[in-house]
Structure 1
Amino acid sequence: MRCDWLLVLSLVPCVFAIKTCFSDKRFLKFHKIKNCAKSTKPIIAWKDFSNPHDCMRFARTKNGVAFNFAPPQLKNATQARRYRNCQVLGCPETGNSTTFVFDPSFDYYSAFGDLNSTSNATCVKSVGLFVRIEQKKNYTDAINFCQNLGADLADVSSEIRTNALAASLKSMQNWYKAAYVGLDDTESEGTFRTPLGNFLACTKYRAWGVGHPRPNRKHEDCVILDAERTWRAINCKIKLEFICEFYPAPPQFPPVEFKNEDCAQIKNKRKRRQCLSANELFVIYSNSTRIDQCALLNDLE
């Protein structure tokens, strides 16, 4: 009996430790961003599917952040189709993009739908969108600035993130090229956490500079990344440039979709007239060719 109790007690700390960690694997939610168009950004995977939901699932398995989808019934909208209709992209379109093209065979979907806020963003393939802010702020003000953009300080808890973001710092004019990132132990000394609240102890990757974090410097609670791919803990009050990572988000203005509604239940006369007009458009849209549908959508968007 005593041994059994010792065994149970010895497992308790492990159970609690496991509860503090969660998977850093994101479940991206994709949104239709644009009808009758596709992105010409590099395709990282492709396959044929009968509906966009299966394409979404495929995109997640391939670490895609956006995709073009051509419904099978539209394969002859412009010409005989010689491509897979689900085209997974490692980078999404942003507000200043020049890689959108009109294509009646396709619709474009993305996890990053707020194109306006990401106009100046840089993509790290299969990871997300980032922007370096050249204004110098302390750590707290940097967080607030990022959050006002629909972002947060960048997570650097993987090698691909650290390496890609460190490379983006090489264009800085400073002699020491470094910026704040999202890693700190402000809540509990020595326990570093990412912006999403995950513990650094839950990941294997580390990029600490020699001697960092310095245990005898209790005021060094915030982390910077430098161009040499190194993390260093510093005083959070120091003002530096910083890197924001954009949150996945739906579009501010979703694309037009036509639906057939039951107008008889609407008592307000003005709203019922609007409903009947929308139903008329639905009938026109449903009976039109894809080219004409695209022209109608273009007029309304």
Structure 2
Amino acid sequence: MWSFLFLTIHIFVGITMGSLNCPTENSHPLKFHLVRQCQRASAHDALALENVSSLEECANLAQELRGLAINYAPGGPKRTINIFEARVSTNVTEKQKHIRSRLTVFEQPGEFFNCHVLQCPQNTSFSGMVNDSRFDYYSLYGRPTVLQNYSCVPEVGLFVVYTQPSGYLNASLKCTNSSEFTGSLAHIASESRTSSLAQWLLDFNKKTPSSVQPETNVFLAYVGLAYNRSTSLNPLDFRNSQQESLNCFLYRAWAVNHPRLGSELTNASCVALTPQGTWQTLNCDRELPFICEIHTAKTSNELDQPDSQLDIGKNAVLECDNY
């Protein structure tokens, strides 16, 4: 009897969780894509500097620490010496050598560590890159998007805020149909995401004094969370842009008296983030600013296929394979 009851409950829970479309480890596979060869990004604010035995170990460490990019030195007979430094060594004075010798290992990560876990990827300018034939640079996002005004929230992701108000549906379409990036309305169902994006809104509002352009301040912004009775299982079954239920996640940040599910919000209830780090439900027709999240680059199922994210544009090291 008890075994039958347990089996029944187990099957019921499995069906329920399956219908919630909860994310799994394979739902959003992450891969660090090779972007620049024989170059490394600045590791000044690195999350970690380590010596590892393989690129896979470096990538696993980065995922554990929520790093968004890495520098990795593969080693080998052709990659143990920085050819760029060797070229200019004859011009280095004794004084410069002495100054460098006094730098700590953390001030010279390229000299002592073969894995640098980075908070954010490089933008389109690659302004933080250093020619170093020992290293290659990898990013979860592949080559930087052509969009100029996106922002990196360290250890969280890449986002862009649109201050031109829009209804929820149009905001969602703007994010998913953008010709400049692949994305969706921002996922916020974690403490780190909600608090980081809320702080980002506070900082965004501080950039433009309210006395100059008060209409550019963002006090509510649509994010990727909404309830729709045609797809949801119950009144609290809010879904993100990937149709994953909020019931799959432990974190909540509802403002006082929210979520509101009154008669005027029967068909759909859309969620906006406040700079104070709370969620509010609103009528989806209300026009608000909104936050898009830029998705990581897609992974390839072809093991033998070269990484299509390798950048050979301006300032890339074209002769790297010859080292």
TM-score, structure 2 normalization:
0.72
Is 1:75 matched with 2:76? Answer: no
8 A Cα contact 2:143 2:310, kept in partner: no
Return the offset for 1:97. 4.5
1:164, distance to aligned residue in structure 2 (A): 1.2
- Which secondary structure does the structure 2 equivalent of 1:107 belong to? strand
Q: Distance in 1 between matches of 2:318 and 2:33?
A: 21
Counterparts of 1:1-301 in structure 2, within 5 Å, are: 2-19=1-18, 20=20, 21-23=22-24, 26-41=28-43, 42-73=45-76, 74-77=79-82, 78=85, 82-147=111-176, 148=178, 149-170=181-202, 171-172=204-205, 173-174=214-215, 177-186=219-228, 187-188=231-232, 189-216=235-262, 217-219=265-267, 221-249=269-297, 254-255=310-311, 294=317, 296-297=319-320
**Amino acid in the other structure paired with 2:226:** D
Q: Conserved in 1, the CA contact under 8 Å of 2:161 and 2:290?
A: yes
Equivalent residues, number: 262
SS at match of 2:127: coil
Report the CA distance between 1:178 and its aligned residue: 1.0
Contact 2:33 2:309 (8 Å CA) reproduced:
no
Using the TM superposition, give the Cα deviation of residue 153 of structure 1 relative to its aligned residue in structure 2, in angstroms.
0.4
Unaligned ranges ≥5, structure 2 = 87-107, 206-213, 299-306
Query: How far apart are residue 226 of structure 1 and its match?
Result: 0.9
Shift of 1:29: 0.8
- 1:209 aligns to what SS in structure 2? coil
**Superposition deviation, residue 58 in structure 1:** 2.7
CA deviation map 1:214-233 (0-9, x unaligned): 13242551100011111011
More deviation in 141-150 or 164-173? 164-173
1:138–1:239 contact (8 Å) kept in structure 2: yes
In 1, Cα distance between equivalents of 2:28 and 2:50: 22
State the SS of the aligned residue for 2:111: coil
Q: Give me the whole-angstrom Cα distance separating, in 2, the residues matched to 1:11 and 1:71.
A: 47
Decide whether the 8 Å contact of 2:34 with 2:309 is kept in 1. Answer: no
Contact persistence 2:184–2:294 (CA under 8 A): yes
AA paired with 1:205?
Y
Aligned Cα root-mean-square deviation (Å): 2.8
Question: Structure 1 counterpart of 2:48, which letter?
Answer: A
Q: Residue 108 of structure 1: SS of its match in structure 2?
A: strand
TM-score, normalization: structure 1? 0.77
Separation of aligned partners in 2, 1:245 and 1:45: 25
Provide the secondary structure at the position in 2 that maps to 1:104: strand
2:272 partner SS: strand
Kindly indicate whether structure 1 or structure 2 has the higher relative contact order, using CA contacts under 8 Å at least 6 residues apart.
Answer: 2
Secondary structure at the residue paired with 2:293?
A: strand
Runs of 5+ consecutive residues of structure 1 not aligned to the other structure: 257-292
Taking the aligned partners of 1:96 and 1:242, their CA distance within structure 2 comes to 26
Q: 1:190 to 1:85 in 2, by over 3 A?
A: same
**Distance in 1 between the 2:135 and 2:37 partners?**
7
Would the alpha carbon gap of residues 218 and 44 (structure 1) be closer, same or farther in structure 2, given more than 3 Å must change? Answer: same
Give the whole-Å Cα distance in 1 for the aligned partners of 2:28 and 2:47: 18
Partner Cα distance (1:66, 1:159) in 2: 22
**1:253 & 1:15 partners in 2: Cα distance?**
39
Describe the shift of the 1:294–1:246 C-alpha distance in structure 2 as closer, same or farther (beyond 3 A).
closer
- Aligned counterpart, 1:287: none
- The amino acid of 1:131's aligned partner reads V
**Does the 8 Å contact 1:131/1:244 carry over to 2?**
yes
Taking a change above 3 Å as real, the CA distance of residues 143 and 295 of structure 1, as seen in their structure-2 partners, is: closer
Aligned 8 A contact 2:133 2:320 in 1: no
Partner of 2:95 in structure 1? none
Query: Percent of aligned positions with the same letter in both sequences?
Result: 31
Higher mean Cα deviation, 197-206 or 91-100?
A: 91-100
